[in-house]
Chains A and B, each alone.
Chain A
Amino acid sequence: MGKKVVILFSIPFFLMVIFYFYFFSYVNKKNQERVLMLSMSQAKLTSAFISVAGNHLLESGEKSLESFLSGLLEREDVIYVAVVKEGKPIFWDSVYSGYLPIGRGKSPRLIPSPIGSILEIKSILNKGYEVYIGFDFSLLDEIRKRAFTNFLVVFLFLLFFSSLSLGYMLYVNSLYFRKEKELLKERQEKERFKELSMLAASLSHELKNPINNLYLNLQLLEGKVREENARKYLSVVKDQARRLSSIVETHLSLVRLSPRLRKVNLRDVLSSLISEKIELIMEEEFQMRTDPQLLHIAISNLIRNSEEAGASRIWIRVLRGRIEVEDDAGGVNKEELSKIFSPFYSGKREGTGIGLALVRRIIEALGGRIKGENGDKGLKIIMEFSHENFDN
């Protein structure tokens, strides 16, 4: 699943959020319009009632009308009242001292003010009288505000979770990609290892006979030479030839691995490796289905590697499904750690880069996995095997 697919997959979520935004803002707007229409129709009705009542009161004089309107002002929702005759205000009163925003225009109308909207109703009376009443309409503003807040909260909630889902999918995707990349790298490395091993093996095969021949002739020559100094030089050459032969054997073993599995006691396999500086830690006795010779070679190689790195103490720890070899040589840096099992890579000046690669090859041939990490004091090599291969 590629990044593009994830993004394409998440587009419907965002489209849904946008759709929600438009749909609910439309519904909200329509609802508000309906509330306003209802209020306006009620206001018109009130205006008609005030016209009738006002005309009756005017028959008893202006004061009756004024007294009626002053009484209205005691209501919680009335902000101002005013009586205008032929365009001139003759009586008015306002909850907000001196604030009387009456004006020309259609009625009823909404007037904005710092306390919210004011609904002004104008009622036309006989003899040129007009009555203005301003109602507190801030509740409508509150309804609008709350509707908008609710809508915004749900919108942000949806947006947040859509983004979260997208983020999560991208994260899972990246994990998947990383895993796939690691597997690919591992596969490529194995291929490379195989190719190099084949090359090394074929070279070694070609070199094996001449080296053996050389060694044999050196032995014959050693029998005929009497002079002490010449014998010393011959011995050095013979040692080097032996070393060459050993290197060739090691290279050949890279491809010639054919493990013979059988159940063995791990203590029996590993106890021959114990010395003053090598400690075997085994809290339980384990039987393991493995090739004891190959396992022995692998652990010996790890011990040799630690010794060459300057370790003074080496611990072989056996747990169920796991064998660890740890030293106190200080470990390696992170970059080196990722390469230690690569064939022909060596951190040492005189190393061949075969030792740890061979260990890896052996452990994989035995059905296990190997990894390296820096322990408390030095490098720790962890070999993991299937638990099924372990018995008490």
Chain B
Amino acid sequence: MRKLLTLLFVAFLVAAEGRVCFFFSPERKIEIVGKVVKIEENQSFCRSDYFVVITLKDRRGREFKVYVSPAWFFTERPGLGEEIKIKGSYSQNNRTLVIAEWIYSRGEKFLLRDSRGFPLWGGRKRRFGKERRRSKGKWVKR
């Protein structure tokens, strides 16, 4: 029993450590053009529910992990191998970790945050008793 508890505690620590926590800074913006290598939904982004994380490989072969939005907000996703353009803010410790501001693909743009990083899907809790409306994001022709 003790062994099991220890194992669970270690697993929790590993899982907690595996979470990526960084914030969107308007001073650390980047634009990446690359092919979609992987799209996953996980809880690796700091204190978030299931987040869409896109792994992108640019022409120079560098891989970026792009933290997009909660899974319910970003439902129409690009296909694997598709070339997309992303603008976002990278982590102060690791330039390959990016919080996306928008994604551009096939002449359409998917807005995720405003220029200061405020998420367009809203936050995770009620404000002064008002329930937030949850509406999915959309691709817009640009």
Which chain A residues have a beta carbon within 8 Å of chain B's beta carbons? 76-77, 79, 88-89, 92-101, 113-115, 136, 138-139
Is there a chain A Cβ closer than 8 Å to B42's Cβ?
no
What are 16 residue pairs bridging A and B, where the CB atoms are less than 8 Å apart in the complex? A76-B125, A76-B127, A76-B129, A79-B123, A89-B92, A94-B23, A95-B124, A97-B45, A97-B48, A97-B69, A98-B99, A98-B117, A98-B119, A100-B117, A114-B118, A115-B118
Q: Hey, what's the 0/1 contact readout for B106-125 against A, CB within 8 Å counting as 1?
A: 00000001101111001111
Query: Which residues of chain A are within 8 angstroms of B69 by Cβ–Cβ distance?
Result: 97
Interface majority SS on B: helix, strand, loop or mixed? loop
Give 11 A-B pairs besides A97-B48, A97-B51 with Cβ atoms closer than 8 angstroms: A88-B92, A93-B47, A95-B124, A96-B119, A96-B122, A97-B47, A97-B124, A98-B99, A99-B23, A99-B24, A99-B113
Q: Are B117 and A114 in contact (CB under 8 A)?
A: no
CB closest chain-B residue, reference A75: B125
Q: Are B128 and A98 in contact (CB under 8 A)?
A: no
Cβ contact of B117, chosen from A89, A93, A99, cutoff 8 A: A99
Q: How far is the CB of A221 from chain B (nearest CB, A)?
A: 111
* B interface residue count range (under 10 / 10 to 19 / 20 to 34 / 35 or more): 20 to 34
Q: Are A139 and B128 in contact (CB under 8 A)?
A: yes
Q: How far is the CB of A86 from chain B (nearest CB, A)?
A: 14
Q: Are B118 and A96 in contact (CB under 8 A)?
A: yes
Q: Hey, what's the 0/1 contact readout for B85-105 against A, CB within 8 Å counting as 1?
A: 000010010000001000000
Q: Are A115 and B46 in contact (CB under 8 A)?
A: no
Query: Which residues of chain B are within 8 angstroms of A99 by Cβ–Cβ distance?
Result: 23-24, 113, 116-119
Q: How far is the CB of A74 from chain B (nearest CB, A)?
A: 8
Q: How far is the CB of A283 from chain B (nearest CB, A)?
A: 75
Q: Are B23 and A100 in contact (CB under 8 A)?
A: yes
In the complex, A115→B126 CA distance in Å? Answer: 12
In the complex, A101→B125 CA distance in Å? Answer: 18
Is there a chain A Cβ closer than 8 Å to B21's Cβ?
yes
CB closest chain-A residue, reference B45: A97
Q: How far is the CB of B111 from chain A (nearest CB, A)?
A: 12
